């Protein structure tokens, strides 16, 4: 029995249309997927550039502030008067004056968690808003070595004292003759950095952003992880590895 030509033609057209739709659908899916990928990458790059600029501005502001404090005439006078050879009472009075100055600019609500004055010769902390640090030596810290001659921001590092990430800025305290009397160092409150990194664009509901140092340790608190202990752990995902190696 022969099949009529019209039903046969209709069947061929239906099969052809199905194949064509399948091909077009596959191409559209791939094109849409590629477009979505490109849009996501573009958004990430734009966000990263914006946050990098905000980070640089934050660091430069901290450096400007520590330099201004180090050059304050009152602080310079207090440090110049603080000579180890003085009698105990006179030495104690000078220390009290230095502490009164430092405590105005450190602590809750300030950009500095603590401020310290270091001996320029051996890096010993002679005065600090964190009294437990006084008498300790920081001669091997980059912020001390560089801070004797320039305003310097030490990159984020792990602080055993804080039990987490820390960032310190420092500047030389110079007398009227240019002689270095000491080094002023300030530990920054990283909440300012955390706000920069976690500021959301509002484009995604599940987005998260965090900063990781070259040792694969979290520097800022991930939005989706509330446990502060995560700052003591490492992250070794493929995306983090590729970013750190600049692939």
13 confidence band (pLDDT: 50, 70, 90) = low
| Global pTM value | 0.72
- What pLDDT is stored for residue 99 in this prediction? 93
Cα–Cα dist 59/53, whole Å: 10
Cα–Cα dist 178/236, whole Å: 47
Q: Which residues contact 130 (CB under 8 A, 6 or more apart)?
A: 113, 114, 116
Angle between helices 5-70 and 191-198 (to 10 degrees): 160
112 confidence band (pLDDT: 50, 70, 90) = very high
Q: Under CATH, what is the fold of the domain 59-192?
A: Beta-Lactamase (3.30.450)
What does the pLDDT look like over 46-99, one tens digit per residue? 777 787 888 899 999 999 999 999 999 999 999 988 765 444 444 567 788 899
């Amino acid at each position: 029995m022969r099949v009529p030509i019209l039903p046969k033609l209709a069947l061929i057209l239906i099969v052809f249309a199905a194949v064509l739709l399948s091909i077009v659908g596959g191409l559209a899916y791939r094109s849409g997927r590629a477009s979505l990928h490109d849009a996501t990458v573009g958004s990430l790059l734009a966000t990263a550039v914006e946050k990098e600029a905000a980070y640089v501005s934050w660091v430069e502001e901290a450096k400007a502030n520590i330099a201004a404090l180090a050059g304050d005439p009152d602080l310079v006078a207090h440090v110049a008067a603080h000579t180890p050879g003085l009698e105990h009472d006179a030495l104690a009075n000078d220390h009290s004056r230095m502490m009164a100055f430092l405590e105005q600019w450190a602590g809750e609500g300030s950009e500095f968690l603590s401020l310290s004055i270091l001996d320029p010769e051996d890096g010993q902390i002679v005065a600090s808003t964190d009294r437990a640090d006084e008498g300790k030596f920081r001669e091997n810290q980059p912020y001390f070595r560089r801070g004797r001659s320039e305003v310097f921001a030490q990159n984020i590092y792990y602080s055993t004292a804080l039990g987490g990430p820390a960032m310190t800025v420092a500047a030389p305290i110079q007398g009227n003759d240019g002689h270095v009397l000491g080094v002023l160092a300030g530990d920054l409150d990283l909440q300012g950095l955390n706000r920069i990194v976690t500021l959301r664009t509002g484009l995604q509901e599940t987005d998260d952003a965090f900063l990781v140092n070259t040792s694969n340790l979290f520097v800022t608190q991930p939005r989706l992880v509330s446990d502060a202990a995560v700052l003591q752990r490492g992250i070794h995902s493929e995306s983090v590895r590729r970013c750190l190696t600049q692939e």
